[in-house]
Amino acid sequence: MEEHSIFHNRYELEKLLGRGAYSEVWLAKDTKTNVQVALKIFAPATGLDDMGLDMFAREFSLVADVSNPNILKPLYFEFDRKPYLVLPYCKEGSVKSKIGQMKEDEAWKMIHDVAKGLKALHSHQPPIIHQDIKPDNIMVSSDGNYMITDFGVSTHLHSTLRKSVSANFTSAGTRAYMAPERFSRHKTPIMASDVYSLGATVYELLTGDAPFGEEGGLLQKSGADIPELDGNFSTELKDLIERCLSLNPWDRPTVDTLAETTPNTNGISIKKEETPIAPVSTKPKISAYVIAGLAIVGIALGVILGLFWG
């Protein structure tokens, strides 16, 4: 894979944007449309065997109908035994460039947008667990919205890729964003695992450091407390991130809650619970003065009647 080479007789590779454990991401020009795109090419050095290719095709057929403004939807192809994805190119890149520099209003906006995208994945039948929410996988659109990418690669596909890739590739290092349950005996990712990863991502974007360093939820599973979010941030944001990082999955908010209750770009709550207003009574009210007057009249009548009958 070299710059200016033509991939699949169509895409001119212009620049290597990133390299992960099992893939390379390239900025490319579609020579048929003259439009820049991003190509994510899996197992670029070795390719996959028939079983691996069949598994990729089945997995991505499950997400073909997922559509949401906060999801950067890929198109799936194969060439030279290499599965690859074609995605819209985001000139603004990912939020990785904002680590340690993100402001609170940006964080609220990102939480809301990412939660909307995750909600679409989690409500899919069968549900799709992203499994790898991190700064690299949250893109910024030209209009300032946040979109998640790199979804649909299941644990089975990771296992297939791990057996096939060249030894030149190293771990992507996403442990820092993995929930404690991902280090349990069963290691099964669940919806709440994505919420944890989102909380760890926001924490890092605000502070510059992942909450548990490179060890992620493994350190928390060993008894480490959730670190306090230092900085001039609101109590509401601090509490929300702490709940997302809860040790127990059932203590974390759902993506539905995050999508419905986090503020928009104007800092105004999208869904705010209002205190019910007591209904106004339609019955006529009797003032205290009237009641006091009636009481005095009653006393006076009692005195007069007492004198009369006495």
Centroid of chain to Cα 90: 18
Domain limits, the chain: 6-261
- Neighbouring-strand partners of residue 24: 19, 41
Q: Is 132 a catalytic residue?
A: yes
pLDDT at 80 over 80: yes
Rounded Cα–Cα distance for residues 215 and 200 (Å): 12
Three-state secondary structure call for residue 9? coil
pLDDT per position as a tens digit, 131-176:
889 999 999 998 999 999 876 554 445 555 655 554 443 333 388 9
Catalytic residue among 132, 136, 150, 194: 132
Cis peptide bond N-terminal to 126, omega within 30: yes
Q: What is the pLDDT of residues 21-75, one digit of tens each?
A: 778 999 999 999 999 999 999 888 888 888 888 888 887 887 778 889 999 988 9
State the average pLDDT for the chain: 81
Q: What is the pLDDT of residue 66?
A: 84
Is the CATH number of domain 6-261 1.10.510.10?
yes
Quickly list DSSP for 131-179. ---SGGGEEE-TTS-EEE-S----HHHHHHHHHHS-TT-----GGGG--
Stronger pLDDT, 274 or 234, i.e. the higher one: 234
Other CB atoms within 10 A of residue 161 CB: 23
